[in-house]
Chains A and B, each alone.
Chain A
Amino acid sequence: MIPWMAWRLHRRGLIGFGVGGFLISFLYGAAFTQAAGSTAESQAAFGRAVLLVAKQFAFIIPVPVHPETLGGYEQYKWLSGAIILMMIWAGLAGVGIGRGDEDRGLTDQWIAAGVSRTRLLLARSAAFGLVLLVACFASVLGIVAVAPIVHQDPNFWGEMGKALSMATGIFAGFAIALLIAQLPAERQTATALGVGALVLLLIVNGIADTIDSASWIGVVSPFHWMERTTSAAPGGTFDLGATLGLAVAGAALLGAVIPIFQRRDIGSGLFTWGRRAGAAVRVASRNLMLRMPFTEGIWEQRVGLSVWVVSTLLLGSLMVSVTKSMGDALFSDPKLAALFQGAAPGPRYAALLGIVWFGIALLLLAGYAVVQVSRWSAQDQEGRVEMLLSAPISRTRVVIERALEFAVASLLIVIGGYIGVASKVPSSGLNLDAGHVFTASALLWPFALAFGGLGVAVASRWPRIAVPFLAAFAVIEYILGDLAPLFKLPDWMANLSIFHLYGNPVVGDLSWTPAISMALVFVAGFGAALVLMKQRDVSSA
């Protein structure tokens, strides 16, 4: 039962994080000597540079250990990010198992078939745990596989230890989300609280890592205990106590879920608030947002969209405020300054802001595109498109409304980011050109549109695979953009990455080519969506 559940219910995650994890660690490993050079001296200099820059990001990603080695570099460059991505996956899986199965009627069916609640919960959790374990091991096996090619230590047992630590820590995160999912009345609230709690624990760990007087609060975060194992780097440590502690915590949290799951009603949380009292409503809403074209979609996602806009605004502001200190530290060493200028030419602080903020903004917008496509995909599969087309509106209008909805929503996020950055620049001491900051911010919009265009095309014809497709596409594009300079790929090939195409417009003269190219991707995607939507059969079944 458990292997069946693991494959049937988590196969996309398994393929994405397992196969994808292996390939990404392999690719980053293959690029190691391109980035660090092949001599011990150049690798040591590279390690020092990475260490210096990494200290500025310690809030999100832990300071690397032996980044001059393949394992240390991968632990910093890939595995730290992979842990965050997998933790979000675990959070969604925890809520999905806790409440999503109930919404889909699966829990009813299993219980009706005579499976006890305890057995069901344990079997579903074990299935996810199995998939997680495979994905974690696959993510480090790419390092082991690529090591002989780049003449580095495969560090097999160290990598295995790191994978084990990751699996236990992320499983503990899964159990936290599963526990939280039992409490609120509605699944959407459970999702927000479950995933939100894991993000909070990431922030708590970041505070503990960067503020000495608050280091004690890190003990509540699984990220803290995972960080204690650094064995992916040769010479790093495997913290057996921390790993065992995470395993015990995961099991204990799972044990705490069982009585709650047994007590509450299927389809409801442990805490249910009283239903609305008062007279029944017998008339339709007069909300203008529901009446105008495309604004219904904006209205429906108003809370989530507000979170995106405000988060982007705050993050933009935060990143501008740390760029000066980061640059001061980096540029005080002439060798590192030269190394940086070689990689990112132009005014130094502006170039650094381009990497520190606009690089992150690109990832945020690609992430938003995936979220939006997942919304369309769900609407299609749940029969919303079928119902929409039962009203006198054309398929063309459905596609146009999606495109407009995405364009407006992504523009709001871009504006939020710009306000955050522009409001902080004058007091940051960065001496940036306001026009360049505006241009770089404005170009984020066609970047988002390019992703949205592809998303709307795929979602119009193949809604079931639209999310994994766009997510995989975003990862491939990012890695291509990241590795293209290291492998010295020709421009035409590097520009296949929209991330690379965007470039670093906060420095240098404005070029219309990237903006036009990205807009063309949007137009092409949108045009394809119009054709594909017309041809397909719409069916929720």
Chain B
Amino acid sequence: MTAAIRTQGLTKDFGGGRGLFDLDLEVAEGEVFGYLGPNGAGKSTTIRLLMGLIHASQGSASVFGLDAIGQSVEVKRLVGFVPGELPQFGGLRGRDIVGHFGALRGGVDQKRVKEITERFDLDLGLKFRQYSSGNKRKLGIVLAFMHRPKLLILDEPSSGLDPLNQQEFFKLVQEAQAAGATVFLSSHVLSEVEHVCQRVGIIRRGELVKVARLEDLHEMHVRRVEVEFAGDAQPHLFDHLPGIENVKSNHHRITFTMRGSFEPIVDALAGHHVVNVTSHEPSLEEVFLTYYEDDPKEAAS
């Protein structure tokens, strides 16, 4: 089966360590793929490369087997796109914008437009500049979904929507998938993709650090461990132990995350007066953050 999206060694180097580097990614047809990463990680750069808006420094990107740059027009016949930030349409009314972009795609399915605008309670009679940021986002969703595309490329699509509209948006994505569409959804918030995605890719500093199914992320052998000492905590015991990260101590208590076997920890604690040891599976959010926390600044963002 042809992959909906395939990139090979895709690189866009902006200099100074910024950009996207050596991205190998495959998104299967009919899949909803979440593309996660902190701000500035390279998500929008990936999307712009897929949309043929910017040129790769190296590597290639294809959509349904079509070259993203060389066959850009053909690619975009198949794609619905929500940009990270909707452009300024100034004094044009919502209906004019939808009419214009519908015409560029060969015609407007008024029934579909009506259906989506009703679901999101969007008035197309207003001028663009009169729209709130949430309504601008809804207009972007109408433009992306109105022609029932085979592939939806969505750059942080639900930011700015209230919880009710977010739920409506997730339903729309699920319906699109049920109708056979592929969805590539970028976000820096796990909860946004958690609702609809089957697989996620995590990108950090322009490099893809992990691709996994959501349930696989849960099952990764990362545990949060808490050790309670009878006396003062002794964090130095865990120095240089393999697989131990994020060691924090507080009076009698030490917490850390660990991967791999418990054996080195048991050895390290031997001979010390330990009152309690607990270990638990981390939440999905915590797993996600471990990929960000290599850089504390990014974790904070």
Contact = CB atoms under 8 A, between A and B. Distances in A.
Nearest to B116: A282
Contacts of B117: 280, 282-283
Nearest to A300: B92
Given A390-B76, A392-B77, A284 B102 contact: yes
Contacts of B54: 537-539
A287 B101 CA distance: 12
B104 A283 contact: no
B74 interface: yes
A116 interface: no
A392 B104 contact: yes
B99 A290 contact: yes
A488 interface: no
Interface residues of A, number: 37
Q: Give the one of A188, A282, A379, A393 with max B CB within 10 A.
A: A282
A385 B98 CA distance: 16
Interface string B76-115: 1101010101111111111110111111110010100110
Contact of B126 (A276, A284, A296, A537): A276
Given A392-B104, A393-B104, A538-B54, A286 B99 contact: yes
B79 A390 contact: yes
Contacts of B87: 379, 382-384, 386-387, 540
A284 B124 contact: yes
B96 A290 contact: yes
Interface in B52-89: 52-55, 72-74, 76-77, 79, 81, 83, 85-89
A393 B104 CA distance: 7
A281 interface: yes
Contacts of A394: 72-73
Contact of A285 (B90, B91, B93, B121): B93
B48 A539 contact: yes
A48 B130 CA distance: 58
B85 to A, nearest CB: 6
Contacts of B51: 389-390
A366 B92 CA distance: 27
Given A290-B100, A390-B51, A392-B104, A384 B124 contact: no
A387 B83 contact: yes
Given A285-B98, A387-B86, A188 B91 contact: yes
B113 A389 contact: no
A296 B96 CA distance: 10
Nearest to B14: A537
A186 interface: yes
Nearest to B74: A392
Contacts, number: 121
A40 to B, nearest CB: 58
B118 A282 contact: yes
B113 A285 contact: no
B123 interface: yes
B35 to A, nearest CB: 17
B17 interface: no
A99 B109 CA distance: 38
Interface string A33-74: 000000000000000000000000000000000000000000
A291 interface: yes
A284 B99 contact: yes
Given A283-B113, A284-B113, A391 B104 contact: yes
Contacts of B85: 383, 540
B77 A283 contact: no
A82 B136 CA distance: 42
A392 B85 CA distance: 19
Nearest to A394: B73
Contact of B95 (A281, A291, A388): A281
Main secondary structure of the interface of A (DSSP, over half): loop
The size bracket of the interface on B is: 35 or more
A186 B143 CA distance: 25
B103 A291 contact: yes
Contacts of B93: 281, 285
A290 B98 CA distance: 10
Q: Give the one of B53, B54, B86 with max A CB within 10 A.
A: B53
B125 interface: yes
B76 A391 contact: yes
A36 B101 CA distance: 60
Contacts of A391: 76, 101, 104-105
Contact of B89 (A276, A384, A386, A392): A384
Given A383-B86, A390-B51, A284 B74 contact: no
B252 interface: no
Contact of B94 (A186, A281, A286): A281
A152 to B, nearest CB: 50
Given A383-B88, A386-B83, A391-B104, A284 B95 contact: yes
B210 interface: no
Nearest to A303: B91
B273 interface: no
B129 interface: yes
Contacts of A284: 95, 98-99, 102, 108, 110, 113, 124
Interface string B118-136: 1001111110011000000
Contacts of B86: 383, 387
Contacts of A296: 100
B113 A287 contact: no
Nearest to B82: A390
Contact of A538 (B53, B91, B96, B125): B53
Contacts of B110: 283-284
Contacts of B99: 284-287, 290-291
A388 B96 CA distance: 14
Given A300-B92, A387-B86, A281 B81 contact: no
A392 B113 contact: no
B90 A188 contact: yes
A535 B54 CA distance: 9
Given A283-B124, A537-B55, A392 B88 contact: no
A278 B123 CA distance: 11
Nearest to B85: A383
| CB-based closest 5 A-B pairs | A383-B87, A281-B125, A285-B99, A280-B123, A537-B54
Given A285-B96, A389-B52, 8 more contacts: A282-B122, A282-B124, A283-B117, A284-B102, A291-B99, A291-B103, A383-B87, A389-B72
6 contacts: A282-B124, A284-B110, A291-B99, A389-B52, A392-B74, A538-B48
